[in-house]
Amino acid sequence: MARALMAVFGDALAGERQGPDLNATQLRIELLAGLTVALALVPEAVAFAFVAGVHPLVGLYAAFIVGLITALFGGRPGMISGATGALAVVMVSLVATHGVEYLFATVVLMGLIQIAVGLLRWGKFIRLVPHPVMLGFVNGLAIVIFLAQLSQFQVPGSAESAGHGMANGEWLSGTPLVMMLALVALTMAVIWAMPKLTNAIPAPLAGIAITALVVIVFGIDVPRVGDMAGIEGGLPAFHIPMVPLNWETFEIILPYAVILAAIGLIESLLTLNLVGEMTNQRGGASRECVAQGAANTVTGFFGGMGGCAMIGQSMINVKSGGRTRVAGIAAALFLLSFILFAAPLIEQIPLAALVGVMFMVVIGTFAWNSLRILTKVPRADAFVTILVTIVTVATDLATAVVVGVIVSALAYAWQNATRIHAMTYETPESAKVYKVQGPLFFGSSDGFTEMFRVETDPQVVIVDFEGSRVVDQSALQAIEAVAAKYEAAGKRLQLRHLSRDCHRLLSKAGHLMVDSDDDPDYELAVDYSVRTGIIGGH
Sign of CA dihedral 140, 146, 152, 155: negative
Per-residue pLDDT of 310-360, as tens digits, reads 988 998 999 888 989 999 999 999 999 999 999 998 989 999 998 998 899
Are 281 and 79 spatial neighbours (Cβ–Cβ below 8 Å)? no
The pLDDT of residue 19 is above 80: no
Per-residue pLDDT of 45-82, as tens digits, reads 887 888 788 999 999 999 999 999 999 999 889 899 99
Widest CA span in the chain: 98
Instruction: Give the mean pLDDT of 249-270.
Output: 92
Summary mean pLDDT of the chain: 84
497 against 208, higher pLDDT: 208
Angle CA 270–271–272, to nearest 5: 90
Strands 525-528, 492-496: parallel, antiparallel or unpaired by DSSP? antiparallel
The pLDDT of residue 515 is above 80: no
Are 323 and 19 spatial neighbours (Cβ–Cβ below 8 Å)? yes
- In the chain, % helix, strand, coil (3-state, to 5) comes to 60, 10, 30
Least-confidence region, from 205-209, 400-404, 524-528: 524-528
Query: Which helix H or strand E contains 406, and what residues bound it?
Result: helix 397-417
Angle CA 255–260–262, to nearest 5: 100
Are 37 and 327 spatial neighbours (Cβ–Cβ below 8 Å)? yes
Instruction: Give the mean pLDDT of 301-308.
Output: 94
Delineate the domains of the chain, giving CATH numbers in brackets.
2-15+24-150+170-217+238-382 (no CATH), 421-528 (3.30.750.24)
Angle CA 171–175–177, to nearest 5: 35
